[in-house]
Amino acid sequence: MTSESNAAAPPIVIFDTTLRDGEQSPGASMNLQEKMEVAHALALLGVNIVEAGFPIASPGDFEAVREIASQIHGPTICGLARCSDADIDRAWEALKHGKQTRIHVFLATSAIHREFKLRMTREEIIRRAVAGVKRAVSYCDDVEFSPEDAARTESDFLCEVVEAAIAAGATTVNIPDTVGYATPTHMGGVIANLKNRVPNIDKAVISVHCHNDLGLAVANSLAAVENGAGQIECTINGIGERAGNCSLEEVVMALRTRSDYYGRSTSIQTERLVPTSRLVASVTGIRVQRNKAIVGRNAFAHEAGIHQDGMLKEPSTYEIMRPEDVGFSKTDLVLGKHSGRAALADRAKALGYRLSGEQLQTVFEEFKVLADKKKEIYDGDIAALIDQQLNQAPQQEWTLESFSAHCGNNQPPQVKLTLRRGDQTFTEETSEGDGPIDAAFWAVEKITEVPITCKAFRVRSASLGRDAQGEATLEVEHEGQVFRGRGVSTDTIEATIKALLNAINRIAFTKECKEAAAGETESPAASG
């Protein structure tokens, strides 16, 4: 199918059943207030039909359908009913005050349902279906009929039931793949067969309701569209019975992104997909997986350096949709161990830093070390690494080689510290101090032989999460002058040691500068 061959086709009707089939997900039940909140969001999203519930199922469902029908304007509000007088009467009682309403009646038609669930013959099924549709039509002009388990119903019988339902007044005939058994070729064939063999099929819209037991709900729905379906029944985040339903956000964006192929549009305001997804996830407690298409946290995230480099040069190299089109603010170039210099440089620039090539290389090397320790690198981590690089003393006289620390309730702290100075290493093991950090202060002071007095000390989280970096900042006094130090690490003791060395290196650098200045002052007199 191409857009040229289907250029005049009307938009696909989006029938949302989040509040009915979606709520049937185990643990996803919603109270009235929550249902109203979701219904308002669906109206803003631009869905054509909201299936608000199954009125006879419970007093709560009845009340929800009644309130939604009365208060929500824009979409058609639909109530579900079996092909029984009591169900249909109850559905209309809930819907009757709505401005635009639909009664959706259903009856199983497959051989396995006829034999084991309904214990009815084909003739009885047709009589019951026709009677149900006629009773619904007596209340409401907009009536939908679903032959439950249609995908497993014999072809001839399905055509017969659909023809009879349309003749009785059904304006939409929905073809459910109730148990997620169909494949795209199978589902497309079912719709094509109805189009070709049911004489009055042009009097009704063909709909599909696909379940995701084999992970094919979206693919089956799109195959149905290719073969003449005009309505798709779906849910936000694909929630629903068992493995769920056709995902609204996925099928809508497939139609939009591949309009060159399907040639069909929808009324959905796609920039509201992410907010609506998050609302439904919050209300139902069913979290969206990170790699969920369209609305998942990783849907527009890139960590691999090759991908990030391509994205920075031209987004379409690795994205077929714009994140803004579905409600994300921007593409997320996730910084991790697979990221490259280009992504780090871009993030540094976004954070307001301007790094030279040498500075970038140094930060990148530190970044790679950190990325091996953390699953995810936050902006706070990047800022901490850059600040540490920019704030380092010009000469790193002392560097940390290794350390170990042990402490307990009733034992003195033990710190073993090894520092490097040029080609030499120096080790100190101490049990002094009130804790491992205090002991680290003593060990650094003994190795460097630089007496210091700590005037201020603070440790804070530089980023988010349990694996966040700790940032240690301190002020120490040496010979009447105050020096600042800063260190960052996922280990707070290591961060403290780095901050101490940062301050001591500043002390050493300041002394060298003073000695050099003194030498320059004395040299003319010495030569004279």
DSSP code for 114: I
Structure tokens at 106: 């259903």
Domain boundaries, the chain: 13-284, 301-390, 399-515
Give the confidence band of 301 by pLDDT, cuts at 50, 70, 90.
Answer: low
Q: Is the pLDDT of residue 275 over 60?
A: yes
Element (H, E) at 105: strand 101-108
Other CB atoms within 10 Å distance of the CB of residue 316: 10
Give the confidence band of 49 by pLDDT, cuts at 50, 70, 90.
Answer: very high
Pairing of strands 76-82, 49-53: parallel
Q: What is the mean pLDDT of residues 250-258?
A: 96
429, 414, 423, 438: which is closest to 497 by C-alpha? 438
Q: For the domain 13-284, what is the CATH superfamily, name and number?
A: Aldolase class I (3.20.20.70)
Range from 31-35, 94-98, 508-512 that averages highest in pLDDT = 94-98
- DSSP for 294-337 reads TTSTTTTEE-SHHHHHHHHH-GGGT-SS-GGGTT-SS-EE-BST
CATH topology assigned to domain 399-515: Double Stranded RNA Binding Domain (3.30.160)
Residue that wins the pLDDT comparison between 311 and 138: 138
CA distance linking residue 172 with residue 15, whole number of Å: 11
Under the phi-then-psi rule, with left for phi > 0, alpha for psi from -120 to 50, and beta for the rest, what region is 133?
alpha
- 13-284 and 399-515 share one fold: no
Structure tokens at 394: 């010009």
Other CB atoms within 10 Å distance of the CB of residue 85: 12
Q: Is the pLDDT of residue 338 over 60?
A: yes
Q: What is the mean pLDDT of residues 92-98?
A: 97
pLDDT digits (tens, 9 = 90+) for 204-230: 999 999 999 999 999 999 999 999 999
Beta strands in 199-265 (DSSP E): 205-210, 231-234
Q: Is the pLDDT of residue 197 over 60?
A: yes
**How far out from the chain centre does Cα 157 lie?**
43
What percent of the chain shows pLDDT beyond 90? Answer: 49
Q: What is the mean pLDDT of residues 121-135?
A: 97
What was the pLDDT predicted at 362? 85
CA distance linking residue 239 with residue 77, whole number of Å: 19
What was the pLDDT predicted at 287? 83
Per the CB < 8 A criterion, the answer to whether 95 and 65 are in contact is yes
CA distance linking residue 173 with residue 120, whole number of Å: 21
Q: Is the pLDDT of residue 9 over 70?
A: yes
Q: What is the mean pLDDT of residues 123-135?
A: 97
183, 119, 109: which is closest to 150 by C-alpha? 109
Element (H, E) at 513: helix 492-527
Q: What is the mean pLDDT of residues 382-410?
A: 73
CA distance linking residue 501 with residue 495, whole number of Å: 10
What was the pLDDT predicted at 283? 84
Q: What is the mean pLDDT of residues 172-176?
A: 98
